Structure 1
């Protein structure tokens, strides 16, 4: 099997006369964590929505495990093993942590959204649900309603429900958005722990998180790829410095 799990070629998205993403190429390596970063207005959100099929491209192609997914719908790619999270925690607030994960596990039985199924049948999923919660450090919170969980633990629960869908490719949209330092550290450690056996693409604003987790970083600016590579290389790129700080490398040298 190819080492490239997701192959994006010449992806472009236009909204009327505005080009939000322009001729972007991405090759996501199997088993890696690949971060997409960039300053405000760089096209990160649009790019992420293209990858997760919430937008259809104006032009270009996307292949997952060699299969063309360019015109597939979000539900179709989810069935293929591509699952996304959202910036805003997307869990059922009045269900317990266990019940949230159990709903995700129902999909594997072909009974997704069958809320009227017998409680006994659902209880058969409890052991798997507890295992997923344990994986993200939430085993002791299994019977706590999601609405009562602190924000960082809600995000951990969302990752647990995502894992319940058995994704081959996880797409995480700003996983540490709005978190304090303690929660950022916990979620960063969690992502590093659950990466085994899967590929992760993440849009993330916190460069400390990116530096710790990402094997490869793609920097977008004005909808185009500005730079790509490991953090140590990308962070020293003069064009990246100018895009983030608004000063050129020559100006930085002069100030020094």
Structure 2
């Protein structure tokens, strides 16, 4: 039996009578990359918000490692190893790359608010911070302010801060959004590299990225699961072509 790290059962949420997510059932296998795709308004980010408890579901359950976490708060989710990145790079622009990662290390070690700690004590985290930067190819940029980094490297820095929290499950929300071809390739390679020994759920519009990375793909449309499976299967599904790509199977073959 496949080891399931995260499962949703009939997950739903309504906003003012509008059913945004309806009966979504996911089973995320441990150690895999699971992509969630779909057209605009399909409910992808809403599902992410439900999984990380930015929204409370109207109905249904969420289980993490077999434990029902449906009623947990966002901080509880993060403390138990579920960490999310956002569509817009969420780093501190005027701190160096190393300082950004060091803040994440402080969060993990429970000293985030110990502002009175000496500089020497905080500098003891520098070695691990640099090691995390090295994982994402930013070791040579450790002392550069985040605002000075190109966009693709800012996203790499965000992944480094996520890794510093030692997540068991990483949720990446549009990791290649707004990037040029070169940056997309670099970040794709980076996600593949850091996925070793981890589980990743990602929302991604770029089907080229999804085809290279995802072990399993869930396609959402109008808040419901339209199809699920490996890219080779999902990409040939007629309903997916019509809803996501805007073409029928006959048009795709023409």
- Does 1:62 pair with 2:58? no
Aligned-pair CA distance for 1:17: 1.4
Aligned-pair CA distance for 1:244: 2.0
Q: What is the CA–CA distance in structure 2 between the aligned matches of 1:209 and 1:251, rounded to whole Å?
A: 23
SS in 2 for 1:103: helix
How many residues are matched?
254
Q: What is the CA–CA distance in structure 2 between the aligned matches of 1:247 and 1:198, rounded to whole Å?
A: 35
Please tell me the root mean square deviation across aligned C-alpha atoms, in Å: 1.3
**Deviation by residue 1:96-131 (Cα, 9 ceiling, x = unmatched):** 000000011112322013233211111111110000
**Comparing 108-117 and 204-213, the one that deviates more:** 108-117
Verify the 8 A CA contact 1:171 1:202 in the aligned structure 2. yes
SS in 1 for 2:220: strand
Aligned-pair CA distance for 1:227: 0.3
Q: What is the CA–CA distance in structure 2 between the aligned matches of 1:168 and 1:199, rounded to whole Å?
A: 7
Q: What is the CA–CA distance in structure 2 between the aligned matches of 1:115 and 1:159, rounded to whole Å?
A: 25
Aligned-pair CA distance for 1:193: 0.2
Question: What does residue 244 of structure 1 align with?
Answer: 244
Can you give the 5+ residue segments of structure 2 that lack an aligned partner in the other structure? none
SS in 2 for 1:27: strand
TM-score normalised by length of structure 1:
0.96
Q: What is the CA–CA distance in structure 2 between the aligned matches of 1:227 and 1:42, rounded to whole Å?
A: 13
Following superposition of structure 1 onto structure 2, how do residues 27-176 of structure 1 map, counting pairs within 5 Å?
27-176=27-176
SS in 2 for 1:193: helix
SS in 2 for 1:205: coil
Verify the 8 A CA contact 2:105 2:125 in the aligned structure 1. yes
